[in-house]
Amino acid sequence: FRYLCAPIIPNQDDDAVFINCRSSSTPPHSYFVVQHILKMFVHILIVAIIHLCSIPSSSAFLPPSLKPPASSKIFSSASEVMPSNVQTLVDQAKSLFDSSFGADVDKNLPNYCVSAPGRVNLIGEHTDYTGGYVLPLAIGFNTVGYGCGSVVKKDSSESIKCRIVSTNNPVAEFHVSPSLEASTGSNKWVNYVQGVVLQYLPDLKEDETFIFDLAIVGDVPLGSGLSSSASLEVATAVFLERILDSHGVAYCSAKDAPLSEKQRKMERAVRCKLAENIFCGVPCGIMDQFVSSAGCEGKLLLLDCRSLDYREVSMGGENASSSDAPVLVITNSNVKHDLGDGEYPVRVRQCKEATDILTKMNPSIQSLRDATMKDVEAAAKSAGLEGVLLQRARHVVSENERTVKTADALEKGDWETVGKLMNASHTSMRDDYEVSCEEIDVLVDLAQTFGDGVYGSRLTGGGFGGCTVTLVKKDSAQQLIEYLKTQYEAKTGTKCVCFETAPASGAKAIDL
C-alpha cells in the first residue's frame, strides 16, 4: 500500500522501501493495471475526505442572531476569530498597500498579513533593563502589516529594494545591507523597521537579501506608553518570518534543530529589542517586545527579564468571576514623550552607576536585580550610594519586590493587596525615579481618591507622560471613566481618553 500511495503520501522514512520496490524485477502487465486502479481509488478516497472536512461547521446552521459576525476571519488556527478592530486594520492596510504601490507591485510575490499588539504594564516599571521582573499584558490595540515579499539573489542593480509606507508617513525606500544607516528627521520611524530587517539578514545566505513592499497601519496610540514602537518591530519580525518560512529558511540560531513556538517568540523578542537598542539608539529592556510577541489571551506575563523565563498569571483564579472582580482601565493623558531623546537613557546610565557602587560593596551584585533593600540601605550608609543614585536604586529594587508580590496576590484574587502595591509603585516612580509629570499625577490622584470601587492606580510605561492603569471593580468602571474625563479636563485643560482592557493574545500571522 505504501508503494501504491507513494506519489500521494511520501514518507522519507520509507525511502528504502520505495527504492527496493522500484529496483526489483519488472512485474507483469496485469500488475500495472491493478496498480493504476488502486491509485485511482486512493485519489478518489482522499478527495472525498477533503471534501467532507470542508463542510461548514455547525455555526453555519445557527439562527442569524447566534452566528459569528460575517466579517470575522480566521487568524492562523481554526479556534481563533479575528477581532473586529483587527479586521478593520487589515482592510485599511490592504487599501493603503493598493493606493501606495498599485501597479508597481511584483504580482509574482506572495502576499502576507500580520499583526502585533501594544501592551500595558500592570507593575514592574524600569526594571527590565536591569534584568528584573515585570508584569505586562498585551492589549487589543495592534499594528497590522500587509504586503508582499521574497528572498532573492543579490545583484548590483538598484531594482532590489524594500518599500514601506504607513498611515501617517509617505513611502520610504531602502536597500537591505549590513551597512544600512539609520534615518533621521521625520523619517526616523523607518528605523524601527530597518533595524528589525538587519536582525534577520544573518538568516540568509551571503548572496541573498530581502525584497518587499509593506503597508503598515495601527491603532496603538503613539507616544502613549503603550509600546507602539515595539508593536511595529514585532509586526515587522513576523512579516519577515513569513517570508523566511515560505522559502524554507530557518533561524541561523536553529540550524541544528528547529525552534519550538515558545522559543521562536523569545528569539523574536530578543531580535526586536536589539533592533531598538542598536539601530534606533534606545537602551530599552525586553519587556515591550516580549509581551507583544508572546502575549496570552486572558493572562498577564510575570517575566524574568534576565533568564526570559515567564509565568502566565490569571486575574483572580477561582475568584475571577466574583462580584468584586476588577477590570483594568487605561487612561491616556495625551501628554506625549520620546524615549530616545528624553530622560530614558539618563535613567539607564544612573542605574548602571548605582550598580557599580553596589558591586564594589558586594561582588555578587551584578545588576540591581541582585540587590535587596538591605543591600541598598547598607550601601547608603557605608559605600557612598547617595542622592539621585540612591533614589534610582531604591525604586528598582523595591519595584522588583512589589512585582513578584503583585503576581501572587493577583492569582489569589487579593485585589486590595494588588491595589496597595500599585499605589506604592506610583509613589516610587514619582518620588524616587522621577519619571511622572503633573498631568499623570492628576490622573492617578483622581483615581486613587475616587472612592469605593478603585483598588489602585499608577503610571504605566516609560513615563514623562503617557498612560495610567487603574484596577477598578467592573461595576464602577464606567462611572470612573466619566469622572476622570470630566475632572482631568477641568484641572489640566486637556482631554483624556479612557478604555477598559483585558489581556489579549500576542503577535500573529493572519491567513488571507
Alpha helices in 174-304 (DSSP H): 190-200, 228-246, 261-274, 287-294
Burial of 144 (0-12, 13-18, 19+ CB in 10 A): buried
CB-CB contact of 326 with 471 (8 Å): yes
What is the spatial distance between Cα 234 and Cα 265, in angstroms, rounded to a whole number? Answer: 10
Tell me whether residue 288 is one of the annotated catalytic residues.
Answer: yes
What is the spatial distance between Cα 213 and Cα 475, in angstroms, rounded to a whole number? Answer: 46
Alpha helices in 383-414 (DSSP H): 387-412
403 closest CA partner among 122, 130, 131, 137: 122
Furthest-apart CA atoms within the chain: distance in Å: 97
Contacts of 176 (CB under 8 A, 6+ apart): 162, 197, 198, 201, 209, 210
For residue 45, the number of C-alpha atoms closer than 13 Å in the C-beta half-sphere is 9
b/e per residue 192-214 (b: at least 16 CB within 10 A): bbbbbbbbbbebbeeeebbbbbb
Query: What count of residues does the chain have?
Result: 512
What is the spatial distance between Cα 297 and Cα 341, in angstroms, rounded to a whole number? Answer: 33
- State the catalytic residue, choosing from 128, 203, 213, 288: 288
Coil/strand/helix, residue 57: coil
What is the spatial distance between Cα 325 and Cα 284, in angstroms, rounded to a whole number? Answer: 33
b/e per residue 170-179 (b: at least 16 CB within 10 A): eebebebeee
Q: Cell for 205?
A: 545566505
Task: Please give the angle made by the CA atoms of 92, 494 and 482, to the nearest 5 degrees.
Answer: 80
330 closest CA partner among 480, 423, 468: 468
Burial of 30 (0-12, 13-18, 19+ CB in 10 A): exposed
CB-CB contact of 340 with 481 (8 Å): no
Q: Which residues are catalytic?
A: 288
